[in-house]
Amino acid sequence: METRPDDAKILVLERPHPALWKYYIICAIFTGPGIVFTLPYLFFRYHTLRYRFDAEGVHMKVGILFRREINLTYARIQDIHLRSGIIQRWLGLANLEIQTASGSAGAELVVEGFKEYEAIRDFLYTRMRGYHPGKTSMPATAVSTTPATVTGENAEVVSLLLEIRDELRRTREALDATTPQPPPIPPRHV
């Protein structure tokens, strides 16, 4: 798979930065007596949190007893929000909240714990807009009327589209020939 130099850095990311564990500890301390329950939960969350960025989309796994896996294709992504509180900014972290058209009010997937959050956001934006490494888009003027000029995986699609176009043209001409034309309106003299 061909990638741009910036994309290669994103594709190798898997585990969150150790600063996320520091953030979790600070958050647990703020819970006061709840630290007894919060810290173990966040400890296991940090140590089981895994991400994978590949050609299809973003994948997240987390949890030991209650495993949660989210697989989100780039085509489903509608919007990406960056959020970082004061402590996260101090640690150089931010949350990427990825939203889909699922209708839920919250984010479908939250990518947390990476200091490369802006590069990840840019990577996801290019992918959700249809960028595919190794593929170049064909300008509209490059499409010929004969399917023989197109090779590869698009030849069959172009051939089918040209057949549909020709059939629609014949249908329109047949309709125009059978539709009675209204009589011309005589000019009015005032």
> Are 23 and 91 in the same domain?
yes
> Are 111 and 151 in the same domain?
no
For 39-66, the pLDDT digits (tens) are 999 999 999 999 999 988 999 999 988 9
> Are 53 and 97 in the same domain?
yes
> Are 107 and 66 in the same domain?
yes
186 in a domain, yes or no?
Answer: no
> Are 118 and 153 in the same domain?
no
CATH number of the domain within which 51 lies = 2.30.29
DSSP the chain: ----HHHHHHHT--SPPTHHHHHHHHHHHHTGGGHHHHHHHHHHHHHH-EEEE-SSEEEEEE-SSS-EEEEEEGGGEEEEEEE--HHHHHHT-EEEEEEESS--SS-SEEEEEETTHHHHHHHHHHHHTT--TT--PPPGGG--SSGGG--GGGHHHHHHHHHHHHHHHHHHHHHHHHSPPPPPPPPP--
Count of structural domains, the chain: 2
Q: What percent of the chain has pLDDT over 70?
A: 84
> Are 153 and 68 in the same domain?
no
134 in a domain, yes or no?
Answer: no
Domain span at residue 149 reads 143-178
> Are 122 and 169 in the same domain?
no
Mean pLDDT of 55-80: 92
135 in a domain, yes or no?
Answer: no
Q: Residue 3: its pLDDT value, please?
A: 54
